[in-house]
Chain A
């Protein structure tokens, strides 16, 4: 097993996995950067480059000496230019040259290739990892200046002829056209290489922020995420090169990244490596936190240490009440036994006493625990415990019917609880390890099965519940420990465990990279601290006042945000009041509320901040009502809590953001946010037609009619490049022209180029989700969804508000097949969306 150079946990990612990571992180940014690039070509004053199909190969080479990784990319590029053709055309006196000749569009395509050498590091003292560029090399393989010149000359000639066709007296100067094309072609390769190189360099550095949860020295024996360091490491004997993310978990960990050699065995794509001392220390600490061992002091002699991987409590008298029986634990020991290199195990030894009227008992117990792999899950496998009880009975106790078997059962049940506590300590390590490895599913059940199967059946009934309780208690310690920050796991992938080696623990397996599909460039990741009655503009990443037009989120006390009017003028100014308005000596407490300002949206989600991706934010049901949360929903703490309130936000400028909110003890709002460069790329404008049918019921106030509706939805691309194709989905099912019926109340459907229509039968409501997936010429996709809940009936007021004489002269109103206006709120919404799309 590799030496971790003083680190406690190391995640190692081999070249293949790292290539996938870099592909995931760099490709979207590069593709975005390589669209619409201006190229200064001689003779073509307006020239734009679009690199299409720019693909980074899913592999990397790691140069440990230079501390950099290199990925290779390839793609095809289009250069579009407008050549001034005025000088290429000769006109007779009196004949005007058509204005269109001054800007003749021509284009050419060719391949580009790029080599991106990057470094990955964590700037000292920061909570971010940076992917930086060491060298960008761009070439245009296969570019033939001669062929392009010929092609451009032919295009130019054809375009000019098309413009001047039918206009007599104009002639093309073929030699000039050829010369112009040659001049352009001579510059293409160099200018494209320069432009692409410049744009690729421009995407660096790519920073990725991660959290370092504060370590509470007393909460878990000072064990926690103390430090993270990264390095690109060269391969060695039996080891592949890798990106190593090494963390210090122990209070005095001495990790030196400069001394770390690649721990990744040859041929393994990725691995997680745990130092034994860390594991043993964590187990011992978990044991101390188990309820069965409440009051357990620091290990005496102190441990574990590198040379003595044990925690021992040799001369203690810890009382533990189990099943209403008091037990005194006099000795406890957990050791890592490496004496058999092929059979590493933890050994556990316990000594305890208990007594009752006329009897006492001393019990010694020994058992071993191995870590095993069941499927892809790491589980503790518990050996059959060796239990050695000695019972002293007064003869008369036996005589009056105190049965030995009853005493033994009492001891055994209590012993099971103690054993279970130790197993739970190990189980929690495995749970944590597996969670880190990204395969948390069903771990609880599997651990339970492994433990129960390994214990004497006679103890099963008492053990099962005990183990669960102990595991739950232990779970508050080790299993809550983050050994690799979640954000870095999300960024660099997770290890799907497939091979486990014990001592030190290695979990090897494929790297699971979960790329956010088509994730556009992240514009900014930032933290803001918002005082009460201040507001946030996410697009600018700054604190603003409520009157600022860019205001996205408001952190305001209710009742003090009104502007204008006599009441507002009479009210005290919010900023001078620490808690609320003082009216006549009575102080009203106004708890602040987090609200989105129209037209921004705010939707709280159950996902974690890290786990929330753009695709999910896009799918949130943002309405026009803003949204928000009272302060009670926002956790308050002295330091960033583990579970802040997480929400997706649609900003006033049409970008999507994800935010994590918490309040400090001064009730300031802390906002961590990621803003994507994602103006909603496509919008959907609905129009409704309603046909009234039979009357359903009537009261003096209302008459209810069955209605049939037709909703026509038109997609409008905002930032997508034409041509755009659309796929319409109703509750996930593609909508076909002439299709239907579909579940959710759709009787029939129609689809056009950029629209679809849903029809309902009389009396049938519409209930479901309509989505449109738009794909542009670059393959960039955008999806917008709308939840539709539309009744199958309409309620019409019977209260006459028009002049009575008119109503008296009108014939009775028959159900009309003509269009009926929608309710006011639906009209407003439709109108607002139309206006927003102008």
Chain B
């Protein structure tokens, strides 16, 4: 399956705090500008961000140690809940990066 992904900018919604305990939304919001600047024009880094966001964030904002630790913990938990990549083999990936508002949520995942 060949997938194209667009990474979109925008501030995290306030209610995200309830879904992501231990993560400071204020600190997270500060990462948007540097991260999107880092990813834009570098598809390899964008793809890496999809697969291992903590490592890319650590490059962009090495000073945000506490936040990064919390993010790594969430990633580990997420991977554990989707064993073997969810049974989906990605044979192609195209990534684009856009600044702007994030997609409007219609349903909680």
Which A positions have Cβ atoms within 8 angstroms of B?
A: 325-326, 355-360, 387-410, 412, 456, 458-459, 461
Contact = CB atoms under 8 A, between A and B. Distances in A.
B3 A390 contact: yes
B80 to A, nearest CB: 11
B19 A405 contact: no
A392 B12 CA distance: 15
Contact of A394 (B1, B12, B90): B12
Interface in B1-36: 1-10, 12-13, 16, 19-20, 23, 28, 31-32, 35-36
Interface of B: 1-10, 12-13, 16, 19-20, 23, 28, 31-32, 35-36, 49-51, 53, 57, 71, 74-75, 77-79, 81-82, 85-90, 102-109
Contact of B107 (A325, A401, A409, A459): A325
A401 B106 contact: no
B109 A356 contact: yes
11 contacts: A355-B103, A360-B103, A393-B6, A393-B8, A394-B7, A394-B8, A395-B32, A396-B102, A403-B79, A405-B90, A406-B82
Contacts of A409: 82, 85-88
Contacts of A404: 3, 5, 50-51
Contacts of A390: 3-6
Contacts of B102: 358, 392, 394-397
A356 B28 contact: no
B20 A398 contact: no
B6 A391 contact: yes
B28 A358 contact: no
A404 B7 CA distance: 11
A398 B3 contact: no
A394 B86 contact: no
Contacts, number: 141
B1 A387 contact: yes
B108 A400 contact: no
User: What are the 9 closest A-B residue pairs judged by CB atoms, nearest first?
Assistant: A409-B86, A394-B102, A356-B109, A401-B74, A401-B78, A357-B105, A360-B103, A396-B12, A400-B20
A360 B104 CA distance: 8
A356 B16 CA distance: 13
A395 B32 CA distance: 8
B3 A400 contact: no
Given A357-B105, A358-B103, A408 B90 contact: yes
Given A358-B102, A461-B87, 15 more contacts: A355-B106, A393-B50, A393-B103, A395-B32, A396-B10, A400-B19, A403-B82, A404-B5, A406-B86, A408-B1, A408-B86, A408-B90, A409-B85, A409-B88, A458-B87
**A391, A399, A404 — most chain B CB neighbours (10 Å):** A399
Contacts of B28: 396, 399-400
A401 B71 contact: yes
A402 B78 contact: yes
Contacts of A405: 82, 85-86, 88, 90
B30 to A, nearest CB: 11
Given A396-B28, A404-B3, A458-B88, A326 B10 contact: no
Contacts of B2: 388
